[in-house]
Amino acid sequence: MRANDSSEGATHQVETRVAGAGVMSGNYYQPTTREQIETLWEGVALRFSRKPILIVGPYVGEFGHEIMDFQSYVRRFRRKYREVHVITFPGREPLYRGCIVHTHGFDLKTAGYIYGRISDSEIRHYARDFARARRIANYDLFSTAHLHTRWHRRLLFRQEHEVIRPVQAVPPNDKIVFHFRHIEKEGNDKTRNFRPDLAQAVCNLCRERGWELACIGHPKYALCPGGCEDCRTDDLERTVAVISACKLVAGELSGPLHLAAYCARPIAIWAPGEQRIAYTFKRNPFNARIFVVRNDTTNPSPDEIVGKLENAVAVLSGRG
């Protein structure tokens, strides 16, 4: 459920140095030891709280970490609270079924990596202002500040995984859906973008084989070469419907590919690093089929990509 927030629409830059005692490390906020201890005790209090309302966020981190980490902790809290208010980027309602979802105005391009540049104190101030503006009383707070270390995650909280499904069932089709990442984000993110010329070449080879193609992602942060159905949108409901109906999702390993795995759909991936590939197999709660094109580059050759897609299609069709 999405809330009708009058405060939505404004865009806020996430500064390199934000309010807080911690430091920036690789474009994400690293709390002090004192802050880690404080949030550890807050987590203990959450375990035993009897308050009826939980305010979650604001979440200002990477999309992939929201899918693999954050949303599954929030799902678990639905058992405990009468109301769960989640503050996140626009269009993320499918990740938080059963919660009241609110949109913040932080800019994705300056948000940073992992859980983002936003500090623990800034998260806390934002959430309290949010509650005050809506006259919400007797509530708890939960955010990425409570997940900084493995001790926070393992000792205090549990995840609850559910297949992310469309609101209404969609008929299956044989489309191959691509996410060609292309975002101008502060930091080293550009190294993970897929070259436009290669994206067009991949699609041309696929069309020669008679495959139906579509592209997903945010219209500002992903490519859609000629000959592909343009399914790019900032509305995750529509993206989940496209993914849930298709035969296979392919692309450089990023948020929409993690989303596809959490929709329990097969994926074909490439990434510059075996560790990232291995993490995808580890964080695969629904055992989605994973086909690896390359583990050492962001831009494999079109022939390599399409060759792996041919293998994947054969396997998924029962011919491989």
pLDDT in tens, 217-234: 999 889 999 999 999 998
Q: Is residue 171 part of a domain?
A: no
Phi, psi torsion values for 29, nearest 5 degrees: -80, 130
Token pair belonging to 83? 């109301």
pLDDT digits (tens, 9 = 90+) for 260-302: 999 999 999 999 888 889 988 988 999 999 999 999 998 999 9
Confidence at residue 66, expressed as pLDDT on a 0 to 100 scale: 93
Do 180 and 312 sit in the same domain of this protein?
Answer: yes
Confidence of residue 183 (pLDDT cuts 50, 70, 90): confident
Question: Which residues on adjacent β-strands are paired with residue 217?
Answer: none
pLDDT at 139: 96
**pLDDT value, residue 229:** 96
How does the average pLDDT of the chain come out, rounded?
87
Q: Report the C-alpha gap between 128 and 140 in whole angstroms.
A: 10
pLDDT at 110: 73
Number of helical H runs and strand E runs in the chain: 10, 13
Smallest Cα–Cα separation from 178: which of 309, 320, 316? 309
pTM (2 decimals)?
0.85
Token pair belonging to 281: 């197999």
Q: What is the pLDDT of residue 240?
A: 97
Residues 32 and 120 in one domain: yes
Take residue 167 and report the two structure tokens written for it.
């609101």
Domain final position from 156, 191, 220? 156
Residue 213 maps to a domain: yes
Q: How far apart are CA 243 and CA 245, in angstroms?
A: 5
What is the pairing mode between strands 222-223 and 176-181?
Answer: antiparallel
User: Where does a domain end: 156, 184, 199?
Assistant: 156
CA dihedral 121, 127, 133, 134 (to 10 degrees): -160
- Of 117, 100, 151, 85, nearest to 19 by C-alpha is 117
Average pLDDT over residues 69-95: 93
The answer to whether residues 11 and 89 touch, using CB atoms and an 8 Å cutoff, is no
End-of-domain residue from the set 156, 190, 209? 156
Q: What percentage of the chain has pLDDT greater than the value 90?
A: 62
**First-to-last C-alpha distance (Å) of the chain:** 42
Nearest Cα to Cα of residue 255 among 84, 75, 67, 109: 67
**Structural domain contains residue 163:** no
Confidence at 13, pLDDT banded by 50, 70, 90: very low
| CATH code, domain carrying 128 | 3.40.50
- Alpha carbons 170 and 286: distance in angstroms, whole number: 19
Q: Are residues 266 and 232 part of one domain? A: yes
User: What's 233's domain CATH number?
Assistant: 3.40.50.2000
Domain that holds residue 267: 176-316
Q: Are residues 143 and 199 in the same domain?
A: no
For residues 182 and 143, membership in a common domain is answered with: no
268 domain-assigned:
yes
206, 144: one domain: no
What is the distance between the alpha carbons of residues 94 and 82, in angstroms, rounded to a whole number? 19
Three-state DSSP class for 258?
helix
144 DSSP β-pair partners: none
Both 87 and 57 in one domain: the answer is yes
> Same domain, yes or no, for 131 and 255?
no
Identify whether residues 219 and 275 lie together within a single domain.
yes
The full length of the chain comes to: 320
